[in-house]
Every structure is written in structure tokens, then in C-alpha cells.
């Protein structure tokens, strides 16, 4: 199934629809988090779900990420399939013990006899003026934690399909939803569907340079590719969609074809996922096809500022991708 035809819904509505359809299908699925009931969630994702499923399956929690994520881990261990909404990804720092020290390790420690079908949904990223404690991109922390899968969709279609897959998975999944994507629209089938983890999507074909980007940066990379095409530079845009497991084959194949790779993410460059992607490329056969060094374009190594102008300058924008890709496409020629 591909992202073509059909009705258009927002990314936000696609996330809600995936949860609603899975809760109707499976009585062990439930949602828990802060303000998700009557209020409908900080961004309105769960609006109306309390009316259909009631307070037992749309469970309001105290303001204690450590507490309710621990409860969810226990519920998953006992056969339930909880979806935890962390109001902002930044607040997942308070739940790190439950996720990294408990949920991620239990299947391994019990010799495969335990399953932890736990999904943590978390709005991430900058662009809303929410300042330093509500605007971070922390995906690299969890990519470094064995036992947790990490998903970062960039479209409404992918959001629904990947979240459905996440809810049905028997392992902990961190599902990252960029706040600026919530109001974007795309074609999404009404019926339930899944998208397999570990399968990247080539969003745009090109021959001159590969741009690898996920979440909001995949959308910006597409816009940048359109501008670059006006200059005669054909950029191929590869969206990993799932960061762990990672579709190395598609990424390496694209880079081997174009001979140049630009990796774009919102998180700071230092310690970011771009380093892992760079290693995947240079440790593969694509290294022999490179006509220029792999480039990384990420956020500045500073906390996200509150000031809107400074906030915008702290993470890659479309014009930054265009400028960097243009220079890389011409390098070595």
C-alpha cells in the first residue's frame, strides 16, 4: 500500500485513527497519560477518545512520567498493550529508568519468555516557541539503548501505518511525533493498515546527491530538493522512517548511485543519529562510490532558544539544506 489517492487527513488525525482502530480491535490496548481524557491531550490527539472508550481505557495520570511509565511497563509485562503519551519528548527524561533499565531489557533478561508491548508516543522538536525544555530532539539516546525500537514518521500516511505496527509489536517502541507535522495533511486510507519497521521510503528520485532525513526534516528535504532541481541539481530524498531498526540497504544503495550523501536531522550534530548513518555509509560498499565526504547538517550545540528568530536559526531550515546540498553536489567536480 502506498501513499496515493483517497481522502486527506492531518498527521494528528492519522495518529488518533490508528489508536482508535487498534483499541476497537484489541481490548488489551489502552491509552494513558496527562490530560488525555476530557482535555484531549496537549495537542488534541486523543480528543473524543474518552467518550468512546471510557476512563478505564483512556486513563488520566498524575503528573509523574516516572510513575505512569513504570505502571505501563508492568501492565505490558502482564499482557496488556499500553500506549503512553509523554506530553513532550523532553519529559521522557523522567521515565528513562522504566524504559531503558526495565522495559528495554526484560525480554533479554528473561530469556525471551517476557514480552513488553509498550508504545511511548512523544511530541518532539522545535518551531512552536516552546523554549529549551519543550523543544528537544532526543532520539539518539534511545537508539543507543538495546531493546527499544525508534520510529519517526514524516507524513500522515506513515504515522497511521507505523503506529499500528508499533501497537502490535511485542517490544517497546518510542514513537516520535514532530509537533509541526500535526497539522500537515496527506492521503490516508480509512481502513487499518501496517507499515513494516526497517523499511525506508525513497521520497524523491535523483542522481546527483542523496539527502537522508526523517521526521520534519524529510519534509524540508523534499522542499529543498524542489529548489535544487531548479538549479539543475537532482537530489534523491531517502526517509528512513524507522531509525531502529534501520534500512541500511536502501540508504547505501542510494548513496552508491549518487556518489554524495547529506544527512539532515534536527538534533544537535554532536552525538546525533547522523554519526550512525555516516558510519553505515562509509563502512559499506557505497564508500567506493563516494565523490565527496559524507556531510552532516544538524542543530546547533545549544539549548533551543525561546526567541523565534534564534529558535529558527538553531536548527536546519530549507535554505540551509539547499545551501549545504548545493555545495556538496559541486564538491570535487
Tens-digit pLDDT profile for residues 36-59: 999 999 999 999 999 999 999 999
Active site residues: 65, 134
Q: How confident is the model at residue 2 (pLDDT cuts 50, 70, 90)?
A: low
* Direct distance between the N- and C-terminal alpha carbons of the chain, in angstroms, rounded to an integer: 40
Q: How confident is the model at residue 3 (pLDDT cuts 50, 70, 90)?
A: low
Q: Is it the case that residue 6 has pLDDT exceeding 80?
A: no
Alpha helices in the chain (DSSP H): 11-25, 49-53, 65-77, 96, 104-109, 139-143, 156-168, 216-229, 248-258, 273-282, 308-313, 318-330
Residues 77, 106 contacting (CB under 8 angstroms) = yes
Q: Quote the longest CA-to-CA distance of the chain.
A: 63
Average pLDDT over residues 281-294: 97
CATH number of 201-330: 3.40.50.920
CB proximity list for 3: less than 8 A, separation 6 or greater: 155, 157, 158, 186, 187
Residues 138, 311 contacting (CB under 8 angstroms) = no
Task: Tell me the CATH architecture of domain 8-187.
Answer: 3-Layer(aba) Sandwich (3.40)
Residue 178, strand partner residues: 124
Q: How confident is the model at residue 1 (pLDDT cuts 50, 70, 90)?
A: very low
SS3 192: coil
Lowest mean pLDDT among 2-16, 89-103, 278-292: 2-16
For CATH 3.40.50.920, list the domain ranges present in the chain: 201-330
Q: Against a cut of 0.85, is the pTM above it?
A: yes
Q: Is it the case that residue 262 has pLDDT exceeding 90?
A: yes
- The answer for 331, left when phi > 0, alpha when psi is -120 to 50, beta otherwise, is beta
Average confidence score pLDDT of the chain: 96
Residues 214, 239 contacting (CB under 8 angstroms) = yes
User: Which whole-number Å values give the CA distances from 41 to 49, 161, 173, in the listed order?
Assistant: 10, 21, 20
Positive or negative torsion for Cα 33, 38, 44, 46? positive
Average pLDDT over residues 212-234: 98
For CATH 3.40.50.970, list the domain ranges present in the chain: 8-187
Amino acid at each position: 500500500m502506498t501513499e496515493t489517492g483517497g481522502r486527506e487527513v492531518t498527521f494528528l488525525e492519522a495518529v488518533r485513527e490508528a489508536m482508535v482502530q487498534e483499541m476497537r480491535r484489541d481490548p488489551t490496548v489502552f491509552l494513558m497519560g496527562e490530560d488525555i481524557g476530557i482535555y484531549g491531550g496537549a495537542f488534541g490527539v486523543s480528543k473524543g477518545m474518552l467518550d468512546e472508550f471510557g476512563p478505564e481505557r483512556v486513563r488520566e495520570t498524575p503528573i509523574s512520567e516516572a510513575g505512569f511509565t513504570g505502571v505501563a511497563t508492568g501492565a505490558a509485562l502482564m499482557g496488556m498493550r499500553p500506549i503512553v503519551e509523554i506530553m513532550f519528548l523532553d519529559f521522557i527524561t523522567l521515565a528513562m529508568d522504566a524504559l531503558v533499565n526495565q522495559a528495554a531489557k526484560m525480554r533479554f533478561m528473561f530469556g525471551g519468555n517476557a514480552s513488553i508491548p509498550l508504545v511511548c508516543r512523544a511530541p518532539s522538536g522545535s518551531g512552536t516557541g516552546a523554549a529549551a525544555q519543550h523543544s528537544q530532539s532526543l532520539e539518539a539516546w534511545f537508539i543507543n539503548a538495546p531493546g527499544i525500537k525508534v520510529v519517526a514518521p514524516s507524513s500522515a500516511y506513515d504515522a497511521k501505518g507505523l503506529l499500528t505496527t508499533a501497537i502490535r509489536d511485542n517490544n517497546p517502541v518510542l514513537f516520535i511525533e514532530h509537533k509541526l507535522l500535526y497539522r500537515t495533511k496527506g492521503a490516508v486510507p480509512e481502513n487499518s493498515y501496517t507499515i513494516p519497521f526497517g523499511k525506508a521510503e525513497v521520497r524523491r528520485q535523483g542522481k546527483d546527491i542523496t539527502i537522508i532525513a526523517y521526521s520534519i526534516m524529510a519534509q524540508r528535504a523534499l522542499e529543498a530538493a524542489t529548489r535544487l532541481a531548479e538549479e539543475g541539481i537532482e537530489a534523491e530524498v531517502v526517509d528512513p522512517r524507522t531509525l531502529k531498526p534501520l534500512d541500511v540497504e536502501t540508504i547505501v544503495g542510494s548513496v552508491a548511485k549518487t556518489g554524495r550523501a547529506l544527512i539532515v536531522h534536527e538534533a544537535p550534530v554532536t552525538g546525533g543519529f547522523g554519526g550512525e548513518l555516516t558510519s553505515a555509509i562509509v563502512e559499506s560498499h557505497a564508500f567506493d562510490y563516494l565523490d565527496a565526504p559524507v556531510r552532516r547538517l544538524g542543530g546547533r550545540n545549544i539549548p533551543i532558544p525561546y526567541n523565534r528568530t534564534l529558535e529558527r536559526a538553531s536548527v536546519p531550515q530549507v535554505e540551509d539544506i539547499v545551501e549545504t546540498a548545493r555545495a556538496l553536489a559541486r564538491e570535487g567536480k
